[in-house]
Structure 1
Amino acid sequence: MPKNKKKAESSSSDSDDGPVDRNVPPEKKAKMGSRTDDKEPTWVLEGKKLVKVREFKGKVYVDVREFYEKNGELLPGKKGISMTPEQWRKLLSLGDEINETISTMC
C-alpha cells in the first residue's frame, strides 16, 4: 500500500463540518428575524443561519453565515459570506428588483 495514499472524502451533505444539534435548548432559540443578546449585533434568519455585524482586523463586515455548536459555543461555519458595508448597501438597493424576479419565478 502506498505511503501517501489519502482517503477520498465525499459528502453530499449541505451542512457544515460542525455537529448539528437539532434539540437546541429554549433559552438559545430565537424567533426568526429577531435580534439576539449576543456580544455582536446578531439576527436569526432561521435555525443557526445568522446575520452578524462584526469587526475583523479593524474593519466592519455584515456576516451572513451558518453556525454550528461545539462544546456549548456557537461557532461560525464555512458556509456564508462576509460583506463590506458598501456591498451590503448595494445588495439592499437591489432588493425590489430581486423581489420582482422571485415573484415571476414562483
Structure 2
Amino acid sequence: MSRRFKRKEEDESPSEDGHGAPPKKAPRTDSSGDSDEIVVCDISHNRRVKVRNWQGKIWVDIREFYVKDGKQLPGKKGISLSVDQWKMLRDHAEEIDKALAES
C-alpha cells in the first residue's frame, strides 16, 4: 500500500475530533410518516414549520418543500433553529413587529 493511498484513506474517514471528510448523506426520503416530526403549520403552499427530533436534539425547522414523484420533500432553502435560538427569536417578536410597522 502506497503512502498516498493510505493518506487518502485516512482523509476520507473523520477523526476522533470530528475533522476529515464529512460523512456521506443519507438519501432524502419523505418523512411525513415519521413520528419524530410534528407539522406545526403550513406558512404557504410550499413552506412549512415543523418541530422535529434530529440526532437527539429538538429543532424548529422552517423550510421550503418541493414535489418529486408525487411526494413532498424538504428543500435546501430553510433554517433549523435549536430550542434556545427559537426562544431568542420568539422573545424578540415584538421588536420585529415594531420594525415591520415602521417600514
> Could you state the TM-score of these two structures normalised by the residue count of structure 1?
0.61
Q: Which residue is equivalent to 1:98?
A: 96
Cα distance in 1 for partners of 2:50, 2:98 equals: 26
One-letter code aligned to 2:55 = K
RMSD between aligned residues? 2.0
Q: Which residue is equivalent to 2:73?
A: 75
Aligned residues: 70
Q: Which runs of 5+ in 2 are unaligned?
A: 1-32
Cα distance in 2 for partners of 1:102, 1:38 equals: 36
Cα distance in 1 for partners of 2:90, 2:34 equals: 24
Q: Which runs of 5+ in 1 are unaligned?
A: 1-36
Task: Render the CA deviation track for 1:31-89: whole Å, top value 9, x for unaligned.
Answer: xxxxxx98521110011100011111111100000001111211110100000011001
| More helix by percentage | 2
2:85 match: secondary structure: helix
| More strand by percentage | 2
- RCO (CA 8 Å, sep 6+): is it higher in 1 or 2? 1
One-letter code aligned to 2:56 = G
Cα distance in 2 for partners of 1:38, 1:46 equals: 22
**1:100 to 1:38, Cα distance in 2 relative to 1, 3 A:** farther
Task: State which of 57, 60, 70 in structure 2 corresponds to 1:59.
Answer: 57
Give 4+ residue runs of structure 1 displaced > 4 Å after superposition.
none
> Could you state the TM-score of these two structures normalised by the residue count of structure 2?
0.62
Structure showing greater Rg: 2
